[in-house]
Structure 1
Amino acid sequence: MPAAMGSPPWSQSEDEGSSSQDEGGPSSSEDSEDAESLLQDALRLKMIDLVVFLLLKYREKEPTTKAEMLSSVIKEYQDHFPEIFSLASECLQLVFGVDVKEVDPSNHCYVLDTTLGLTYDEMGNDEGSMPKTGLLITLLCLILLEGDRASEEEVWEALNGMGVRDGREHSIFGEPRELITKIWVQEEYLEYRLVPNSCPARYEFLWGPRAHAETSKPKVLEYLLRVNRKNPISFLSLFGGVDSDEEEGA
């Protein structure tokens, strides 16, 4: 699986600021660090707001523009638009399986579409649901990396590392076992089958016929190369998708 992504760019500047002490003394240095911390918190919230705004556009199948994002979401942080937009786009792709594509560079107009060309639309008319295609793509990648078939044990080990646990309701993906062993099997994106001659009985996952029809191994490998240094865990935690160490120990 892709290596874990480091801290977002906005947190790096805080570290850099603390390494160079202001000559004005401890007081001015602390004031500067406090101001920087407040800015990073504000930018992180703006990124989350932009993700929510773009998910609404995705649900309604509406395009958007840079001007609309600036006026509706970014507002007084327009100078920071490039980093906010970049991280929001990464979050949409890695967590939700949604790509932000610029279709008119002159007007900075964007449309939102499912990553890798998958047509699965799980949102339907449920206003409380969120796209789950990001998890499906993670499974397709895992199966490919494991030699076109992944054991159930390997799948749950990978999902546990993302905070997606068997039998535990997830804030984004719902009940994961039903999703991956029933819904996506019925939708023919996955095959979930008994390993021949296994004793005790073991199961494995393979690509289903619909996955083969809508995407391809080269496309998935290209996707893996693009996201090699990134990981959805960094963004899942922002949406309550990863349990804290304290919760795990409880």
Structure 2
Amino acid sequence: MSATLTGICKGLPVSPLPVYRGRDPLIGHAPTRAHGLNATEQKTALENALRYFPSSLHEDLAPEFAQEFVAHGHIYMYRFIPDIKMRAYPIGDYPCKTKKAAAIMLMIMNNLDHTVAQFPEELVTYGGNGQVFSNWAQFWIVMNYLSEMTEEQTLVMNSGHPQGLFPSHAEAPRLVITNGMVIPNYSSREMYNRLFALGVTMYGQMTAGSYCYIGPQGIVHGTTITVLNAGRRCFKSGDLSGRVLLTSGLGGMSGAQAKAAVISGCIGVIAEVNKEALVKRHKQGWVMEVIDDLDQLVTRIIMSSKQRKRVVTVQDDSEEDMEEVSQTQTLTQAQKATANLSKDVINKMVSEVVQYMLIMEQKKIPIKRTDINKHVLKDNSKAYTEIFRQAKERLKNVFGLEVTELELTATKTKSKVYILLNTLDADTHSDFVDMSSEEPRMTLLLIVLSIIFMNQGEVITDALLWHILQKLDINCDEGKDHEVFGDVKRILTVDFTKQMYLEYTKIPNSETPIHEFRWGLRAHKEISKRKILDFVCKVYDNMRPENWNTQYREVIRSEGGREDQETAGTSNA
């Protein structure tokens, strides 16, 4: 079988028959079709498939096609899948007599492109059953007809079957198509399934069987309008900044939902059970990030909400949480709420809040007011401010931990997220590069933060970071654990992101998926940039910090513009 455009336009290859290669196990395939045909009807389906081939080949092809029918509920003729990269080639590359025919060829091959079609080997472009053709024999015959078509001919198609080239004129359509010719009032899903199995009809959806599929972009406008109108109806506002659109589906049409969320200004969270569909939309740029951890998703929503200047929550009781967060409770109000509670009850609640915060900090999960109320205080949430004040004092006086606030600001409300910082030993991480440390993950984190900080712009692509870590003999390959750190790639892209030490985001509209790393909110609070720069200086044989002009200025800026006197004196010496 020829792997050229000229070759696929020469007609159905029958002498010799192409080698049977079977289905590609690395791509998605259509589910087995229910047909309901009896033995006689199954024989008819086989005869309908064999009609495209010389009778001399029927003995060879009949058992193969029969097996396909039993296995998949339809005869797709996998043997005749063209051995060519299926895509839309430049229109001038197609062998034809009229550019209009070349345009049709281009659209057909675009509909069957593996990066476009849902089930390319079953000739399904989208929707689960949107067929371009019923079988691959039809593809070959149609491509041959189109290569021979003139401006005085019209190709007539009926549910994937080419009826032939008919004389017409230059002003007539070059192509006339009918698909799924059944009468709704006198048909049913079962009847359609039988007719499709027989090979006499097919469902072409809107743009699969008419060869003009353009992907989710064809529906993104309408989806965006729907999202905006939903916002106007539910929130009485066209401003969806920070709102969460929670939906599902990343198929050929529903893939537009993610982009519609971006255009509308809200945060889109789209669930998808089909990994192949998810990966395809991510590679195409319709989806910006892929997250498979619920806690990490919640953290990412909070961070995105902060960037978009509005508070969101994804709990089931989100309306109650939003109402609670929007209210400003004074200390006096909280004290009144605790007035009727005994000292023992208050101490118990304070202890439970402290214990909860210590557990969350141990897991490096940001602590939220709504979570404390929901999981600890519950019916006593009105006493939150007073209980939280006492819990903060106990954490500082007993454990040496400072409760530090990471504030996510909105136009009218404030949602507060907290972390705990060690105040007993300010030099905890001064000698952090210690491969024998009991906390090797912290060592890895600080190495990565050093690399990011020293990179121009304090941001680094994932590819460059992997390259630098490999140079340091820190293996980042998937499936291969580092002997000290473990699964480096997962720790950096999942664990540290969830803990807010790192931000890991996809660069929008990149042709191939490119991600960037930045310092996370927790890293900015817990880790001194001066110590990072001092460490780098030691690595470079005690080079002075001022030699890195950009990074040194950032250190001074992060410290409020006050230059360290000892460093300044050394510099002036």
User: Which category describes the TM-score, using the shorter chain as reference length?
Assistant: 0.3 to 0.5
TM-score (norm 1): 0.40
Q: Rg: which structure is higher?
A: 2
